[in-house]
Structure 1
Amino acid sequence: MSLYGYGKASVSGEVGEGGGAIEGASGVSGLSAAGCSELAIGRSAGVTGVSVAGVDGVAMEGASGVSAADFGGLEIKGSAGVTGVSVPGAGGVTMEGVAGVTGVIVMAWGIVAMEGVAGVIGVQYH
Structure 2
Amino acid sequence: MRRRGDVFVETAFTLPVILLVTAGLIQAGLLAYAANASSQAARHGARMASVAQGGLGPVVAAAEAYQTARQLFPMDASPLVELLAPGGTPGTEITVRVTLRAPNVLSPLATLFPVLPRGPIPVSASATFRQEGW
Name the TM-score, length of structure 2 as normaliser: 0.18
Whose radius of gyration is greater, 1 or 2? 2
Which one has a larger percent helix, Structure 1 or Structure 2? 2
Q: Which has the higher contact order (CA 8 A, sep 6+)?
A: 2
Which one has a larger percent strand, Structure 1 or Structure 2? 1
Name the TM-score, length of structure 1 as normaliser: 0.19
